[in-house]
Amino acid sequence: MEFVKDWAGWGSNAASCASNIGATWALRPGDCMHHLVFVDQLSPFVFGLHAQLRGRELGIRWYGMAYLLGFLLMYLFYRRAAADGDVQGFVVDDVDNLAIRIVLGVMVGGRLGFVIQQPGRLLHDPLFLISIWEGGMAYFGGLTGVLIAVWSFARSRKISFLALTDVLAPVAALSLGIGRIANFINGELYGRPTGGDWGVVFPRGGSVPRHPSQLYESASHFLLFAVLMLLARRWRGKFSPGAISWTYLIGYGLLRAITDYWRDDDVYWGPLSDGQWFSLGIAVAGFVALYIWSRASRPKNPPRQT
């Protein structure tokens, strides 16, 4: 953990300035302003094993712990839903089966989604497909894997698919928020350069302070989790399954499209990054699904008022 004193305008002079004073503080060239700038040199490991595989150090990483915590929360949410009878036909004995499918859906879908984005590397190194210790998971692939997993379970047990996703939606938002904190610890998925005092220097992003966009996304996910939990309590028993699921898609898509504005991205289609376009696509799909769901849930012959 380090703090660098200064900011805007340091550019190439920052590294030499920092090296001259022990790499702990750097002064802005030409003045004596005293801004504290955090340098993200946090260890990605909870603890290391002092061993390597394919050139990568092995150990228990915070990112892996975030996934583990997310899976645990998912299991507990489903177990409570089964015990409380929130999903018709879903019992406690079903939880293990569903949880295993979801874990496989996240891992396989997330990894395939990431690998598909780098076909050249896969052709050069086929083992890249299974090199999960090197990191690399894609949200959109993981989402697809989870939906397939839940759908297959719902079909085999003849349980409402949307009732199951309504339980999963809040914990998905919470887990994503935890995962983004792990991204910050890893010093990855950082934001654009900024001159604000809240900027962070990420070693992978050079010496320029950047938006901690991972924390922006994390905060948005925690906000979405709180909103979904509030709605789930207020709407419980008042609507047919699906309201929470579609609200999640809308909220996630819109919030990520906003927070990705500050995220550093190499691929842009017009004014927006690829992540923003995909996020807006998810939000639009959520709005369309919510509209169709609302029409289908509306009574065909509402009673007349006299």
- 106 is written with which tokens? 């996240």
- Whether the CB-CB separation of 4 and 39 falls below 8 Å is answered with yes
User: CA 28 to CA 11: how far, in whole Å?
Assistant: 9
Give the per-residue pLDDT at 299: 52
Please check the confidence at residue 18 and state whether its pLDDT lies above 80: no
CA angle 8, 11, 15 (to 5 degrees): 115
Taking the C-alpha atoms of 169, 171, 175 and 177 in order, what is their torsion angle to the nearest 10 degrees? 70
pLDDT digits (tens, 9 = 90+) for 94-119: 999 999 999 999 999 999 988 888 87
User: CA 142 to CA 267: how far, in whole Å?
Assistant: 21
User: CA 85 to CA 198: how far, in whole Å?
Assistant: 46
What's the chain's average pLDDT? 85
Q: In this predicted model, which residue has the larger pLDDT, 27 or 79? A: 79
Give the per-residue pLDDT at 305: 55
pLDDT digits (tens, 9 = 90+) for 186-229: 999 999 999 888 899 999 999 899 999 999 999 999 999 999 99
Q: What are the structural domain ranges in the chain? A: 1-39, 52-297
Distance separating the N- and C-terminal Cα atoms of the chain: 71
Please check the confidence at residue 134 and state whether its pLDDT lies above 70: no
Helix (H, G, I), strand (E, B) or coil at 234: helix
Per-residue pLDDT, averaged over 30-37, amounts to: 52
pLDDT digits (tens, 9 = 90+) for 270-294: 999 998 999 999 999 999 999 999 9
Please check the confidence at residue 179 and state whether its pLDDT lies above 80: yes
User: CA 122 to CA 85: how far, in whole Å?
Assistant: 45
CA angle 224, 240, 102 (to 5 degrees): 55
Give the burial class of 244: count Cβ atoms within 10 A of its Cβ; 0-12 exposed, 13-18 middle, 19 or more buried.
buried
Place 47 in a pLDDT band, splitting at 50, 70 and 90: confident
Per-residue pLDDT, averaged over 150-174, amounts to: 97
Rounded-to-5 percentages of helix, strand, coil across the chain: 60, 10, 30
- Whether the CB-CB separation of 20 and 28 falls below 8 Å is answered with no
User: CA 207 to CA 35: how far, in whole Å?
Assistant: 15
Give the per-residue pLDDT at 37: 80
Please check the confidence at residue 27 and state whether its pLDDT lies above 70: no
Give the per-residue pLDDT at 136: 80
Q: In this predicted model, which residue has the larger pLDDT, 41 or 300? A: 41
Give the per-residue pLDDT at 154: 98
Please check the confidence at residue 12 and state whether its pLDDT lies above 80: no
